[in-house]
Structures are given as C-alpha cells and as structure tokens.
C-alpha cells in the first residue's frame, strides 16, 4: 500500500498529474518549474520525468505549457480521485492485442510467402503441410489475424484520436514522424491486404491481385521495422503499466 502511495506521489501533485508513458524526456518541464517539483529518471533504457517534491507545487502550470507531448495535465478538481483510472489498463490490453495479432499476422504472412510462393513459379502446392497446417490453413490464420489486428488498430486510433488532432493542430508532426509513418504504413498494408481478398472473392483479374500482394509484402517489411522501433521506444510504458497492474488491488483492476 505504501509503495502504491509513493508511486502515485511521483506522478501527481495537488494541481498537476504526469503521464510517464507520454513523456519523451526532453526535460523542458524540469527547466521551467520554478519550485523544483519535477525531477528525472535518466537511465539508458528508462527515461522520463517524475514529481519529486509534490508539496512544492504551486499550480503555476508552467510545466504544462512547456510540455509539447501533453504528458502533464491540470487536475480538474482537488479531490483524491484519479482521472480515467482504468484508461492505462484498457490501453495496455489493446496494445498487447496489437502486438500479439501483429506478430501472428507477420509470421503467417512470411511463412506463406517463403514456404508456398517463392521459387514455385506460380504453381502452389496447396496440400503441403508446414507446421501442421496446409496452404488453406495458413491463409485462414493470416486473414483472421489481419482482421483482428485491424479491429485493435481502430480501437487504438480512437483512444489516441485527441492526441493525433493536437499534434497536427500544434504542428508537431515532424517531432512525432515515426508514429505518423507507422500509422500510414499500417493503413496501406491493410488496404493492399484486403483488396486481393476482395478480388479473389469476386473472381476478378488475378494479375491485379498478385500486384497488390507484392506491394503488400514489401510494405509489411517496412511496417515491421517501424513497429519494432515503436515498441522499443515505449517499452518503459509497457513495463510501468504491467508493474502498476500487478501491484493494484484486485477490486480496482479492470
């Protein structure tokens, strides 16, 4: 109980609250604060601001104005209720869903490409068994996980829609270019993946279908690279949220 109270004091004062998962460790809030309220965690693998002297906070909101990543926000009331208390855990579940379905989708996609398409000159042995499944089985797995991944991505985008709008409105796209490239590439991967399925179902031009599949495969490689970079950048949020979830009382868990 004491550990949870201390952790909470490191992320909020009477007037402000700090969202460490949004912190990009620019330290502008630390430099701006006139009362030495905010400190830093500056390990090579773990960097973010934290509140070290919550009692010194005067509510001047200079740190809020200095933060370009909306990691610090004003507490709307002085009661002891945490705003959107379940939100980090809802996001954690959706992010885990994205990672799991994304891994299966990429794995099954590459398996189909290397085991059935490459080097077969258009003649696919659909009865060949690879890891206890044939061509039809793996394509079904790939389609199901791509669909689930798209659903998780829609929820993820809805959860972060306000962030996207604020970043665009404040002309901070260049500072968050990695996230926007990842989002754009994912949309293109989804489109180039769903179009061949539609062509296959309607029996239209198979040459067009193969062209979209080739584009889809190449874009998937780019998506995988940016996804790995994105996860590595937010690894501290995953570990921090998991730790808080394990140490949170059972009746307060989602």
- Domain residue ranges in the chain: 2-75, 87-238
Asked if 15 and 74 touch (Cβ cutoff 8 Å), the reply is yes
* Residue linked to tokens 């061949």: 196
Asked if 18 and 49 touch (Cβ cutoff 8 Å), the reply is yes
Of 164 and 62, which is predicted with more confidence? Answer: 62
CA distance 65 to 198: 48
CATH of the domain spanning 2-75, picked from 3.40.605.10, 3.40.190.10, 3.40.50.10490, 3.30.70.20: 3.30.70.20
CA distance 92 to 245: 10
DSSP secondary structure letter of residue 116? I
pLDDT at 83: 39
Record the tokens describing residue 249, joined without a space.
């009382």
3-state secondary structure of 167: helix
Q: Which fold would CATH assign to domain 87-238?
A: Fumarate Reductase Cytochrome B subunit (1.20.950)
pLDDT in tens, 96-144: 888 899 889 888 888 888 888 776 666 777 788 888 889 889 989 988 9
The stretches of 24-79 forming alpha helices (DSSP H) are: 28-32, 62-66
pTM: 0.61
Asked if 52 and 38 touch (Cβ cutoff 8 Å), the reply is yes
């Amino acid at each position: 109980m004491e550990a949870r109270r201390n952790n909470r004091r490191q992320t909020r004062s009477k007037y402000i609250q700090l969202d460490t998962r949004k912190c990009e460790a620019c330290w502008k809030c630390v430099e701006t604060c006139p009362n030495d309220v905010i400190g830093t965690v500056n390990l090579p693998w773990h960097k973010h601001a934290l509140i070290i002297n919550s009692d010194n906070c005067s509510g001047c909101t200079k740190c809020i104005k200095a933060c370009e990543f909306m990691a610090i926000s004003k507490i709307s009331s002085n009661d002891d209720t945490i705003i959107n208390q379940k939100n980090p855990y809802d996001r954690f579940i959706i992010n885990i869903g994205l990672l799991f379905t994304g891994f299966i989708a990429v794995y099954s996609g590459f398996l189909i490409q290397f085991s059935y398409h490459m080097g077969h000159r258009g003649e696919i042995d659909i009865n060949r068994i690879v890891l206890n499944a044939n061509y039809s089985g793996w394509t079904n797995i790939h389609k199901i996980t791509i669909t689930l991944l798209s659903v998780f991505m829609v929820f993820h985008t809805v959860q972060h829609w306000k962030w996207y709008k604020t970043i665009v409105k404040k002309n901070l796209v260049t500072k968050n270019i990695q996230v926007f490239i990842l989002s754009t590439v994912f949309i293109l991967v989804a489109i180039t993946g769903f179009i061949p399925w539609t062509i296959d179902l309607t029996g239209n031009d198979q040459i067009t279908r193969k062209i979209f599949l080739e584009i889809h495969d190449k874009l998937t490689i780019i998506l995988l690279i940016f996804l790995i970079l994105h996860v590595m950048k937010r690894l501290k949020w995953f570990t921090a949220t998991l730790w808080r979830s394990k140490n949170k009382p059972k009746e307060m868990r989602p």
